[in-house]
Structure 1
Amino acid sequence: MATWEDAHWESSVDSGVPHRDQRSGRYQRYVPDPIDGVALAVGGEVSRQVAKVERSIRALNGPGAEGLAGIARFLLRSEAIASSRIEGIAPSAQQVALAELGQSETIRGVSNQAQLVANNMTIVRAATTELVETDVLTVDHIVELHRSLLPDEPRHHGLRTVQNWIGTSSWTPIGASYVPPDPAQVPAHMADLVDYMNGSAYAPLIQAAVVHAQFETIHPFTDGNGRVGRALVHTVLARRGLTEHAVLPISLVLATLRDQYVAGLTDFRHSSPAGSAAASASTNAWLITFVDAAALAVEQSEALMARINELRGVWQDRLTAHRTASGMRSTPRADSAVARLLRRLPEAPVLTATTLARILDVSFPAASAALDELHRAGILTTKSIERGARAYVAREVLDLITLSARPRT
């Protein structure tokens, strides 16, 4: 049965920190139930909402979803930024886009936080490809995912062998808002988690919700648990075939509903007999939080697609006006570098001629001319990125990412 167990903390700190952080004493840590093979009574209202939201997700990702595929990287970038903000990491959308550019070119002035988020984007893509194609997931897959998300922090690699906690100070779990299970229990809990992930007893959204909450409850790493837990949501949804063309930006929603998110995870951590009505009620409370976030994520995706389509219309009008005033034909050829660049801007809002030449497979002069034309049309601005080099920025795309991540009121 899931329970809160008493444990004793013996402090090894006797100076250099406030007296309250030097305390030894009793605290409580959580022991979760296994989830693989455990009966879960999903409430009728929750079940109907799950079915409705999953239909919406399939429609978003199904046939005719070219619009979503066209903004897949936009959604991934927005999702990565939102995920980082949940952990208190908040680089600007422009910094993240510059960090992406810096993965293939030399860019000065990019923050470490932006580089971290750009790396997270790369890893989330891997989680929805490599892990999706794996026949059987193992604990080692999740350990490797974590290692990839924290490549420069080897001290945090591997399942934890020490007690960790959330809240209070860095020195003592006494008074923490949540203390996960004894480190000795972590391997068994993680083995149970991957067994559940490899099954399909419940609907994809329910499975993703339970996996995320159980992972965060186990808190198997000394750092980076939030990043891995959110990546696992995308892994489950993609493995179950629910998301195909792009990630569902659930973190984008959860980042704006922070209090509800924490309350939902707290509800999930019950202390009732496994399979009991009380245990199911606690799990259902979390499912409602998660499924409602998924529904909002669908709405957010639809709204973002509509806004980007509107923005493309505005850009086309500006380009037409510029070309007409310059004595050129009003619209460029569909296969021209300019036209192709215009279609790619939501995916790549910060570009150099070198990067664009590689993306479009055109010459450097052709890429430079296309960027310069959109700059003169008022669609792109410029930013110095290195001595004698500049990037072209689709500011309105970055503003749209920033707007979408604002907290809901």
Structure 2
Amino acid sequence: MSTDQPRQPGGHPTGGRYAGHSRDAPAESLAAPAWPALEWEEHTWVPAAQQGVRADRDTGNVRYRAAIMPPIAGLDPRPSAEALAAADDASRALTAFDAELGARVNNFAPVLLRSEAASSSQIENLTASARAIFSAELGAKTGRNAEQIAANTRSMQAAIDLSREITPEAIRQMHAVLMAGQPRHAPGEWRTEAVWIGTRTDTPVGAEYVAPHHTRIEAGIDDLAEFAGRTDVPALVAVALAHAQFETIHPFTDGNGRTGRALAQSMLRHYGVTRSVAVPVSAGLLADVNGYHQALTAYRAGDIDPIVLSFANASLRAVANARQLVEDIDQIRAGWDERFSARRDSNAWKLLDILTHRPVLDAASAARELGVKAPNIYPPLKALTEAKIVQSKAEHQLGPFYRSDEVLTAIDDFAARAGRREAR
């Protein structure tokens, strides 16, 4: 972590090149708008192991540069006509897809939410199969990655639940849910140490990017929340810029990327772009992760077009991919109707609908979904197993799990498509 005293006071001018962004600025100053680039200030690097009265002498007074993020709550973002049109097209596509699901939203909202969480996690190199993720949600020990992706699903759901108002406390809660069980990363608490992006983990000196000093976080997040509450900025433009500003602030010691993409989902719901489902925009970003990271770098240099275009293109890719997933699951469900024979009043038919969005079940979760007592769930589960619609496997100390390999494959195929770069 760094010492608390910057060499330079920092601060952001209200005139000069910043004046063109103020909503209260004179018309003539708006002729050549430009988004403010980061400024920088120096700090002394003191490793945690060397803190104390001899710290400055022991470290040789090593200096590093940390970012100063500009406040954005009062700025007028002016993306290019191309970026603005792309954002508008993407917003319409997201809204149309959300509406298309209609009465079937209960069947698809859960699987799309998990797909978004898995894709967001994959951007951070956390990967697991759909089977491992769904099994982890039931308590199976399928691997650390699957457990973290399951936690990300809960964080995404929290983000949507908290979308009525974007506040600093809501952001903290998203992170608290994501990082529950990882106390060394202080779930839901702003960091009190330096964080950076670079090849070295032991020092920020020479890092590619060092986030703002922790004393700037609270004011920065307050400003971000104020920007997120505005109604005069096109929705997807606001989402992209708020996300980029959040990643610039990097307010937590870990989980910033996943929390920032959960924030994006919260804002999409807040603005009414989506009303029922979490369209997996992160799956669209996966197709060009390098471009996404470069767009964040461009944002910090004062160019907002790349991040707006990145979110717009990601949204369009996500809608196309999600439509394919819905079509695949619909075909699987129709195939079950042809293959399965049982009394029409059997609970097994209801379980078929549940399996389309919960492709891994145990007896307890299946009983909860159907609203029946646990002993009554075994006959329909047995019928589906005998029809080879589900496969049963005993999990260590947890009893049998029942899974639909067909639906799990469709979800894994979605993830594979998300990670493929389109040919140009």
What's the TM-score once normalised by structure 1's chain length? 0.85
Amino acid corresponding to residue 353 of structure 2 in structure 1: R
Offset, 1:67: 3.6
Q: Which of 36, 58, 61 is residue 95 of structure 2 equivalent to?
A: 58
Q: Which residue of 2 aligns with 1:18?
A: none
Amino acid corresponding to residue 219 of structure 2 in structure 1: A
Residue 134 (structure 2) pairs with residue 97 (structure 1): yes
**Bigger shift: residues 64-73 or 167-176:** 64-73
Specify whether residues 34 and 385 from structure 1 end up closer, same or farther in structure 2 by C-alpha distance, changes over 3 A only. Answer: same
Amino acid corresponding to residue 229 of structure 1 in structure 2: G
Q: Which residue of 2 aligns with 1:364?
A: 374
* Counterpart contact for 1:4–1:28, Cα < 8 Å: no
* Counterpart contact for 1:78–1:405, Cα < 8 Å: yes
Offset, 1:262: 0.7
In 1, Cα distance between equivalents of 2:324 and 2:181:
37
> 1:40-64: per-residue Cα shift (whole Å, max 9, x none)?
1122222222222222222212266
Specify whether residues 397 and 90 from structure 1 end up closer, same or farther in structure 2 by C-alpha distance, changes over 3 A only. Answer: same
Residue 251 (structure 2) pairs with residue 220 (structure 1): yes
Amino acid corresponding to residue 126 of structure 1 in structure 2: A
Residue 60 (structure 2) pairs with residue 10 (structure 1): no
Superposition map of 1:51-90 within 5 A: 51-62=88-99, 65-90=102-127
Amino acid corresponding to residue 420 of structure 2 in structure 1: R
In 1, Cα distance between equivalents of 2:387 and 2:210:
56
Offset, 1:256: 3.5
Residue 224 (structure 2) pairs with residue 190 (structure 1): no
Q: Which residue of 2 aligns with 1:147?
A: 176
**Bigger shift: residues 137-146 or 223-232:** 137-146
In 2, Cα distance between equivalents of 1:35 and 1:6:
19
Q: Which residue of 2 aligns with 1:273?
A: none
> 1:270-297: per-residue Cα shift (whole Å, max 9, x none)?
1xxxxxxxx4xx1012101111101111
Q: Which residue of 2 aligns with 1:242?
A: 273
Q: Which residue of 2 aligns with 1:232?
A: 263
Amino acid corresponding to residue 395 of structure 1 in structure 2: D
Q: Which residue of 1 aligns with 2:28?
A: none
In 2, Cα distance between equivalents of 1:225 and 1:148:
13
Residue 323 (structure 2) pairs with residue 302 (structure 1): yes
Superposition map of 1:254-293 within 5 A: 254-270=285-301, 279=302, 282-293=303-314
In 2, Cα distance between equivalents of 1:285 and 1:144:
29
Q: Which residue of 2 aligns with 1:138?
A: 167
Q: Which residue of 1 aligns with 2:24?
A: none
Amino acid corresponding to residue 239 of structure 1 in structure 2: H
In 2, Cα distance between equivalents of 1:142 and 1:96:
24
Three-state SS of the structure 1 residue aligned to 2:330 is helix
Offset, 1:388: 8.2
Number of aligned residue pairs: 374
Offset, 1:258: 1.3
In 2, Cα distance between equivalents of 1:24 and 1:401:
52
In 2, Cα distance between equivalents of 1:12 and 1:100:
38
Offset, 1:253: 2.1
In 2, Cα distance between equivalents of 1:402 and 1:238:
26
Specify whether residues 259 and 388 from structure 1 end up closer, same or farther in structure 2 by C-alpha distance, changes over 3 A only. Answer: closer
Q: Which residue of 1 aligns with 2:159?
A: 127
> 1:107-147: per-residue Cα shift (whole Å, max 9, x none)?
4x333332222222122112112x1234xx43222223222
Specify whether residues 45 and 69 from structure 1 end up closer, same or farther in structure 2 by C-alpha distance, changes over 3 A only. Answer: farther
Which ranges of structure 1 fall in alignment gaps of 5 or more residues? 16-21, 271-278
Three-state SS of the structure 1 residue aligned to 2:199 is coil
Residue 314 (structure 2) pairs with residue 314 (structure 1): no
* Counterpart contact for 1:255–1:405, Cα < 8 Å: no
Specify whether residues 69 and 362 from structure 1 end up closer, same or farther in structure 2 by C-alpha distance, changes over 3 A only. Answer: closer
What's the TM-score once normalised by structure 2's chain length? 0.82
Offset, 1:361: 1.4
In 2, Cα distance between equivalents of 1:121 and 1:268:
28
* Counterpart contact for 2:87–2:308, Cα < 8 Å: no
Which ranges of structure 2 fall in alignment gaps of 5 or more residues? 1-35, 51-58
In 1, Cα distance between equivalents of 2:350 and 2:38:
58
Identical residues among aligned pairs (%):
33
> 1:359-382: per-residue Cα shift (whole Å, max 9, x none)?
101243442121222212221111
In 2, Cα distance between equivalents of 1:283 and 1:253:
19
**Bigger shift: residues 147-156 or 306-315:** 147-156
Specify whether residues 358 and 114 from structure 1 end up closer, same or farther in structure 2 by C-alpha distance, changes over 3 A only. Answer: same
In 2, Cα distance between equivalents of 1:64 and 1:92:
25
Offset, 1:9: 4.4
Amino acid corresponding to residue 298 of structure 1 in structure 2: V
Amino acid corresponding to residue 311 of structure 1 in structure 2: I
Three-state SS of the structure 2 residue aligned to 1:133 is coil
In 2, Cα distance between equivalents of 1:23 and 1:87:
34
* Counterpart contact for 1:68–1:305, Cα < 8 Å: no
Three-state SS of the structure 2 residue aligned to 1:168 is coil
Offset, 1:213: 0.7
Three-state SS of the structure 1 residue aligned to 2:337 is helix
Offset, 1:88: 2.3
